[in-house]
Amino acid sequence: MTAMAASVAGAGAGAARRALDRAVAGVRAARRAASRFAPGASAFSAAADAEAAAVRAVRNLRTFAPHYAALQWALLLASLSATGHRSCVLALMAASKGVLLLLGCLKFGPAQSFPGSALLRRRIMVILAVLVFAGLAAAGAVSSVMAALGVGVPLVVLHASFRVRDDLEAPSPEAEEEEEEAAVVGEKKEDGDVEAGPTRRSTAVMAPRSPK
């Protein structure tokens, strides 16, 4: 009995440790995502003209699409909770977990090698949005949806228009180290060629000519 109790306690401690590790990893991932989404005031600036702003907005919409979706989803849940639609909040939270699990399986599971998996994920998101809007309309929560969109859409437009992409396109530390090593090797090679050049020329001058 003592051994069984010890094994059960060890299994429980291991499960708790794994859960804690997953929670810590989730918090770190959330912090990295937040720092990438809004690292500081220096990451925002106005574009040179309207065309540059449009190009930047389109690129940022592609880059930060998961961030924008999470922001809009959080605003929707907050709006529903503030207006008293708590049953809708619980239903949406349960549905979101199922959809995230399905999308994760499609993106990281064996199905990721299938052709058209990315298109399938987009279709699932569109179907989810239609079903959510239809369900909220049936529950009489259209005003909450409009309030969430009224707050979220301007934030998304402003972020996509003013978020500078220089830090997103910066080379990685590994690439910088490889470039530095290549530069050092190139400089050494050039120095060797410069030092060996006069030696080869002097050798050619000092070498006796063969008799004709």
Reply yes or no on whether the pLDDT at 95 is more than 60.
Answer: yes
The total number of structural domains that make up the chain? 1
State the residue range of the domain holding 76: 66-164
Structural contact between residues 141 and 83, judged by C-beta atoms closer than 8 angstroms: yes
- Residue 88, in any domain of the structure: yes
**For 83, which DSSP code?**
T
- Residue 48, in any domain of the structure: no
- Residue 196, in any domain of the structure: no
| Mean pLDDT value across residues 48-73 | 88
Residue 44 backbone phi and psi in degrees, to 5: -125, 135
pTM above 0.85, yes or no: no
Closest-CA residue to 168 (of 30, 38, 52): 38
- Residue 156, in any domain of the structure: yes
Structure tokens at 173: 């530390």
- Residue 23, in any domain of the structure: no
- Residue 74, in any domain of the structure: yes
Reply yes or no on whether the pLDDT at 15 is more than 60.
Answer: yes
The more confidently predicted of residues 101 and 64 is 64
